[in-house]
Amino acid sequence: MPATPRLFLASLLLGLTVSCASVRFDRDTTTSGTFESTGLAFTILSIDLPKSAIDIARENASDARQPNTQITDATVYPYLGWFDWLLDVIGVRYATVSGTWGFAPE
């Protein structure tokens, strides 16, 4: 196999296994606020690369080291219910985790 097709195939596989994540913090007071964290993962044959999208989103929020982080909502898209196994064959999943952080005055 010539080097060019091998390089293209390696680049394609690397691009498919890359995950994306983001986190946004909004301040309500000087010591508290809300956050939203997202994660994107590629799934092939029930193996999440690099890990599951919900884990990426949760770890991303945790790595920010905000005090008293409380997750109030977590969702994964797409969610097909009983047919979710179809996405375990090959698919892309996007997760969102949101909640509060800090200590709000009473």
Question: What is the C-alpha to C-alpha distance for residues 4 and 19, in angstroms, rounded to an integer?
Answer: 25
Task: Judge whether 7 lies within some domain.
Answer: no
Task: Judge whether 2 lies within some domain.
Answer: no
For the chain, what is the largest distance between any 2 Cα atoms, rounded to a whole number of angstroms? 68
Task: Judge whether 8 lies within some domain.
Answer: no
Task: Judge whether 58 lies within some domain.
Answer: yes
Tally of structural domains, the chain: 1
Whether pLDDT at 9 is above 80: no
The per-residue pLDDT for 95 is: 93
Question: What is the C-alpha to C-alpha distance for residues 54 and 76, in angstroms, rounded to an integer?
Answer: 7
Task: Judge whether 11 lies within some domain.
Answer: no
Task: Judge whether 9 lies within some domain.
Answer: no
Task: Judge whether 56 lies within some domain.
Answer: yes
DSSP secondary-structure letter at 33? E
More confident residue, 4 or 71: 71
**How confident is the model over 31-72, as pLDDT tens digits?**
889 999 999 888 888 888 788 889 999 998 888 888 888 899
